[in-house]
Amino acid sequence: MFGDYSLGDLGAILAMQGFAGLILFSVYVLMALGLAIIFGQMGVINMAHGEFMILGAYVTWMTSTTVQHYAPWLFPGYFFIAMTLAFIASGSLGMLVEWAMIRHLYRRPLDTLLATWGLSLILQQAYRSVFGAREVGVELPDWMMGSWQATDSIQIPINGMFVMALTILITIAVSYVLFWSSWGKQVRAVVQNRVMAGAVGINTEKVDRYTFGLGCGIAGIAGSAFTMIGSTGPTAGQLYIVDTFLVVVFGGAASLLGTIASAFSISQTQSTLEFFMSGSMAKVITLLTIVAILMMRPQGLFALKVRK
């Protein structure tokens, strides 16, 4: 299959293919981070995670049309405003949902799965009623489109680099918040021992609410970033949810590092396979491999060995 091509060509493709894998990796990390926080730290299965992402995407779309209409001079930088707004919108909705629904279900993880599925149906229909059934296109400022000509034959998409940079930034921010800030210590204290944490004066309800809000807010940012590469429609969120859960579970639920490692291995496997076979088969084989590995190692890649 590659006999006809020069070595230089192949090298360039290899580099670009590696980069394609990295973009996929960033996408997975962005999707999974919020979920990893909610699932890993709180044990809640949020099936509406995709819908929180789409909310971020719609917020981005609204920002872009508003800015285009009222403040065109702001357009080149609107994306940063949009991401902030997406974070706030998804995060607040998340906190509302936590207050109304999730907090009643902390002892029934499987039930959170079912209830949030109901929520996802409602959100989908809400988007359809508000924004219409059609997909909306988000217009990007010119500097974000196109590609960077690394060498004669290697082109790296700018939006891909943007997503990667964003992923790194958010990962660092999340690690900081969870592992170094005092709030993060409270979160981890609550995760480890809710009763004790309450006894030493941590407002566990508040911690829960903000943790859930943070996870959803990150989903909002992810959705905002996805408008650069994917589509924004009422049901687009559903496409991501299974992949996202697999990334989190495969990584070992309670470990952020695991999530990143699993996103990396899954994305590299998939993008490599995609190069040698059709997209459909690549997906099937990737999923099958994950399921097979999970059957052999149910705790995921990174899990602490603890006494039960």
Tokens of 20: 């394609």
From the CB of 182, what's the least distance to another protein, in Å?
Answer: 27
User: Which is closer to another protein, CB of 40 or CB of 186?
Assistant: 40
Q: What is the distance between the alpha carbons of residues 147 and 142, in angstroms, rounded to a whole number?
A: 11
- Largest Cα–Cα separation, the chain: 71
From the CB of 283, what's the least distance to another protein, in Å?
Answer: 6
Amino acid residing at 31: M
User: Can you name the residues that pair with 157 across neighbouring β-strands?
Assistant: 147
From the CB of 209, what's the least distance to another protein, in Å?
Answer: 17
Q: Who contacts 35 (Cβ-Cβ below 8 Å, separation ≥6)? A: 46, 49, 215, 219, 244, 245, 248
CA atoms within 13 A on the CB side of 44: 30
User: Which is closer to another protein, CB of 176 or CB of 275?
Assistant: 275
Tokens of 65: 């049309």
Q: What is the distance between the alpha carbons of residues 1 and 276, in angstroms, rounded to a whole number?
A: 10
Q: What is the distance between the alpha carbons of residues 41 and 43, in angstroms, rounded to a whole number?
A: 6
User: Which is closer to another protein, CB of 142 or CB of 201?
Assistant: 142
Count H helices, E strands: the chain?
12, 2
User: Which is closer to another protein, CB of 74 or CB of 101?
Assistant: 101
From the CB of 68, what's the least distance to another protein, in Å?
Answer: 12
User: Which is closer to another protein, CB of 20 or CB of 67?
Assistant: 20
Q: State which H helix or E strand residue 134 sits in.
A: none
From the CB of 233, what's the least distance to another protein, in Å?
Answer: 6
From the CB of 261, what's the least distance to another protein, in Å?
Answer: 18
User: Which is closer to another protein, CB of 150 or CB of 199?
Assistant: 150
